[in-house]
Each structure stands twice: as structure tokens, then as C-alpha cells.
A = this chain, B = another copy of it.
Amino acid sequence: MMEGSAYARLTERFRRRALIGDALGILDWDQATTMPEGSADGRAEQIATLSVIRHELMVAPGVGESIGQAEVDLGDASPDDWRLGNLREMKRAHLLAAAVPSDLVAATARANAACEVRWRSARAENDFAGLLPALREVLNLIQQTAAARAEALSLAPYDALLEEYEAGTRMVTLDPLFDRLATHLPDVLLRIIERQNAQPAPVRPEGPFDIAAQRDLAAELMQALGFDFDRGRLDVSHHPFCGGATGDVRITTRYNEDDFTESLMGVLHETGHALYEAGLPDNWRFQPVGAALGMAIHESQSLLVEMQVSRSRPFLSFALPRMQASFGGRGPAWDVDNLYRLYTRVEPGFIRVDADEVTYPLHIILRYRLERAMLSGDLDLADLPGAWNDTMSELVGITPPEDRLGCLQDIHWPSGSFGYFPTYTLGAMAAAQFFSAAKRAMPGIEADIAAGRLAPLLSWLRTNVHGQASRHTADALLTRATGEPLNPDIFLDHLEARYLGDG
């Protein structure tokens, strides 16, 4: 493993890291879809063992020195050289891992696991007080982790957490983006509701919808979008996700016999993630530069497929006859205009995962504000429920009647994920921007979609996003693909056109 140049040695090390990650991806998938319930303990041990080995690879003696040497050795490389991106991602992974002492890593893993367990019952029992001690411990440790990373990376503590999920994201760039959304969206929301109320309500297709037929329809639309079942799967799990390994992309869903679109739109969302993974460059597989760029760009791909494409009128024109054939659908509900209004219905609610694309960013901005305040200590955890309800009322205009519809709804904080939430809305904005650029580049793309010709869209995404992997930073990727860095106006224009224009 230790032959050749510093860079060559690093590629061997990171190749091993990626393959351990792939093995973990299959173990996670199996746990969620297949594993017998009584086998959870052993699985936790397997996952912990591989995670520790992967962490050791990053913090082993000499890794930092090899990176320094490789930076010198590649000093003359052209800026287009993929090896530079590889080295950038290697350095980031190494710094993030090496910044945190092993005993803090271990303590965090234990505290997060314990708090997750506590959270499941606390949410069910609407018992925030019961969660508080475990959550305090998680926050205490995440504050230590943030401080350690901040020091190593010369970043503010919250930025040091963001860095793990989407490299280069900083509060200083998030603030104006989110301020712009927070200023505009509440008003946009009111106008949309007003307009919706002036129209007849859409009609919901009536079930029951056979599960096997739902599965076949989902697979048909996945394949139309470009999903390859020879290198991927569709299965069932309690919480839908996209996982698996390099060249083995597995998405999951959960079927509801009364409403086939719940599962279908979820599948299309995960298909967006899966197409990204499947479209990463073969030449760089198992290397950091060949991996997906970060959670925001990943979410942009799922939201592009779900929100920009699948809930659009052209895609629904293509999908409707297939839906009807699957379920023998007849009557006023089975009409493109009706389905389009149904699938773009805006309804402010308490629960983030059920939110429409207009309200969704407000859920995120709330969490962004509160997690920053918790991390800095400005918000004491005991005051979280009140702060949550106040912010919800301010941003969305509704107040949760109980904590399970408020600050107890998400697993992120109990499981130690601080700094993750912003990537959802960064992804929504990037999705609008990518799709807008694709439409500009291919003026016939919506007619193609309506006709079921989805290959041109996939081809554009492969060239401009998937095939670029982690070669550039997110801003550079966006600029190369769309002509400018992230611009929230494109997302706001999309909402304006879809919900207040001609749709």
C-alpha cells in the first residue's frame, strides 16, 4: 500500500476508504430493508467496526505529510487536472477526521445513538422534557466537535459543521440567501393560498391502488428517467432513501394503498439521487474526486427530478396514461390539469417532510436559526420548544399545538446532525437553477419530456453535473453549468411562474 509517490499512496488509501464506505452502504441498506429485527446488535457492531477502520485510515501517521508532499508534487498541474480536485477532497476528509480526537468521536457516537433511541419514545409521547438530558449531552459534544474543527480549519464553529455536509458553505453566504427567502416567501405563500382558494379544489384519485401495480409503475418511470436495474434496485423500507454502493445504487420506498402518489413522488425523488450516483465518472470511481460533491448538490438532483420535472405538466402528460393503465383510472381525477394542481398544492403545515416546495424553505430557515443559536449557547435547550413555536408562527403563520408537531419532529438534532438542514434548501435553489439552464440550453426539453423522451435531460445532467463529480467546488460547478453561482431569484422565479403565473 505504501509504494510510489505521495499522491499514489494517497489514492491507495482513499480507494480503501471508499470501498469500506461501499461495504457500509450495503450493510445500511440491508439493515433498513432485509435484516431480521433481532440481529440489530450485531449489525451495530459491524458498522461501528468498519467506521472505526475507515476513521483510522484518515488519521494514520503520515497522511497529513503525504498530502503536503502531493501538493508540492502537483504544483505544476493544470487547473483542469482532476488530481487537484482529488487532492482537495482528500485534504478536506483528512482535516475533518483528524481535527477531532478519537475519544470525542467515540463519545459522540454513543451519545447520538442513545439520544436517537430516547427521541423515538419522546416523540411518540410528546415528551420534550424526557429528551432534554440526552439532547444536552449531544449538543455538548457537538459543540466540542465544532470547536475542534473550527480550530483545525480556521472556520467559525457552525461553518466547521456545515463543511462536513457541503464543502465551502458558510454562514456569510447562507445569510443573504435565507434572508431573501424569509423576506419574500411568507408573502408569496399568502398570495398562492389566496389564488388556490379562488379555484376549485383538485380531486384526489380514489384507491385502493394495488401495491404490485404501484411498484411496476414506479419501475417503469424510473427506467424512463434512465435508472438501470442491472446496477440498482427498488425495495421497501420504513424511511425511503437512496443508498447502496458504487455501481449498485439502491432506492427504497413505502407503499400506501390509498394514495399511490405518496410513494411514486418519493421514488422519483430518490431516482434523482440515484441518477447522480450512477452517473459519476467510472475513471475516478473509489476516489474522493469521483464521489458526489455534497448534500446540497445531491439534493438538487433529487429535487430537480421530483419538483422541477415530475410535478410539471409535461411530465404528468407523459405519466398520466401509464398511471391510468396501472390502476384502471377513469373520471375527473385522471386529468393532467387536475393532477398538476393536486401535485403542486400548497398547504402550510407543521411537518417539514410533508411540506410543499413553497413552505419547505421556511421550515429550513427556522431550523438554521435555531441550531446556530443552540450551538453558540444563545438559545438554552430548555427554551427550544418556545423558540420553535415563535419562529414557526413568525415564518409560516401557524403555531404547533404540541412538540411532536414542533421541535420533536426531526431525527437530525437527536442524532447529532447540526449543519445539515441548510443543504435541503440550497438543493432546492440549485435544482431550479440547473433546470432553468437545461431549458435554456435545450429549448425543446419540455416537449421532449411530455413525449417521454427523457434522454436529453439525463445527458445534460451527466455532462454538467453527474460526470463532474467533485472536480470543482459547488459554486464553480454551478457557474460552469448555469453561468452564475447560486442565485435565489431563479428559485423564486420558478415559484412565481408555477404558482402565480401560467404554471
> Which residues of A does B touch, CB under 8 Å?
16, 19-20, 22-23, 26-27, 30, 34-39, 41-43, 45-46, 49-50, 53, 228-233, 245-248, 285-286
Contact = CB atoms under 8 A, between A and B. Distances in A.
A284 B35 CA distance: 22
Contacts of A39: 231-232, 245, 247-248
Given A20-B49, A49-B23, A38 B230 contact: yes
Given A30-B30, A34-B34, A49 B16 contact: yes
Nearest to A56: B1
A20 B42 CA distance: 11
A475 to B, nearest CB: 31
Contacts of A34: 34, 233
Nearest to A233: B36
Contacts of A37: 230
Given A232-B36, A233-B36, A20 B50 contact: yes
A228 B34 CA distance: 15
Contacts of A49: 16, 19-20, 23
B38 A22 contact: no
A228 to B, nearest CB: 7
A272 B22 CA distance: 32
Contacts of A50: 19-20, 23
Given A22-B45, A23-B23, A36-B230, 14 more contacts: A19-B49, A20-B53, A23-B46, A34-B34, A34-B233, A36-B248, A38-B247, A39-B231, A39-B232, A39-B245, A39-B247, A41-B247, A43-B245, A53-B53
A23 B38 CA distance: 16
A43 B231 CA distance: 11
* Main secondary structure on A side of the interface with B: helix
A134 to B, nearest CB: 26
Contact of A30 (B26, B46, B246, B285): B26
Contacts of A246: 42
Contacts of A20: 49-50, 53
Contacts of A30: 26, 30
A245 B38 CA distance: 12
A231 B42 CA distance: 10
A232 B38 CA distance: 8
A233 B36 CA distance: 7
A212 B228 CA distance: 29
A26 to B, nearest CB: 6
Contact of A286 (B16, B45, B245, B248): B45
A46 B231 contact: no
B228 A38 contact: yes
Contacts of A41: 247
A26 B45 CA distance: 13
Contacts of A45: 19, 22, 286
A23 B22 CA distance: 11
A45 B246 CA distance: 10
Contacts of A35: 248
Nearest to A245: B42
Nearest to A47: B23
Contacts of A43: 245, 248
A233 B42 CA distance: 15
Nearest to A45: B19
A27 B244 CA distance: 11
A43 B246 CA distance: 9
Contacts of A228: 38
A37 B20 CA distance: 21
Instruction: Please name the 7 residue pairs, one residue from A and one from B, whose CB atoms are nearest each other, closest first.
Output: A39-B248, A38-B230, A19-B49, A38-B231, A42-B247, A23-B46, A42-B246
A22 to B, nearest CB: 5
Contact of A245 (B26, B46, B230): B46
